[in-house]
Structure 1
Amino acid sequence: MPRLITKVKEYRESLGMKQSELAELIGVRRETIVHLENGRYNPSLRMGMDIAKVFHTTVEELFKFED
């Protein structure tokens, strides 16, 4: 089963942003960001797009599936 690889933590930390700040910007709980960054949560397309918008990048840059 493919697993989700994410660069959310890398992007967030490069901006000095806390998990709680990102969560507030996209309207989710901090725990959701924790699980997302640890690969235990697959975001909806909408959430992925919202996160990409915050970081001024693309969904494809932030997320990929690896076999």
Structure 2
Amino acid sequence: MKNIKLKVARVEHDLSQAELAKRVGVTRQTIGLIEQGKYNPTLQLCIAICKTLDRTLDELFWEDETKS
């Protein structure tokens, strides 16, 4: 499942995938794969992304099963 919420938050902060990746200590490819739903990030990485984008874990990574 694609992580559209992550992409939207990243764009709202005017960050490219590469810029976000640098801030959280991963590669641009990792951010791209997370956004595509092809990579399951560690909790530590999720928290780093959330802090960088001023969002909570629920806001960026919780899947609302009622919308599926």
Q: TM-score category by the smaller chain?
A: 0.7 to 0.9
Structure number with higher relative contact order (C-alpha < 8 Å, ≥ 6 residues apart):
1
Residue of structure 1 aligned with 2:19, choices 18, 21, 27: 21
* Residue equivalent to 1:30: 28
Distance 1:37 1:21 in 2: 14
Unaligned runs of at least 5 residues, structure 2: none
Higher share in strand: 1
Q: TM-score if structure 1 supplies the norm length?
A: 0.85
Do the aligned partners of 1:6 and 1:39 also contact (CA within 8 Å) in 2?
no
Higher mean C-alpha displacement, 5-14 vs 46-55: 5-14
Higher share in helix: 2
RMSD of Structure 2 on Structure 1 (CA): 1.6
Distance 2:42 2:49 in 1: 11
Higher mean C-alpha displacement, 20-29 vs 5-14: 5-14
Poorly superposed stretches of 4+, deviation over 3 Å: 3-6
Q: How many residues align?
A: 65
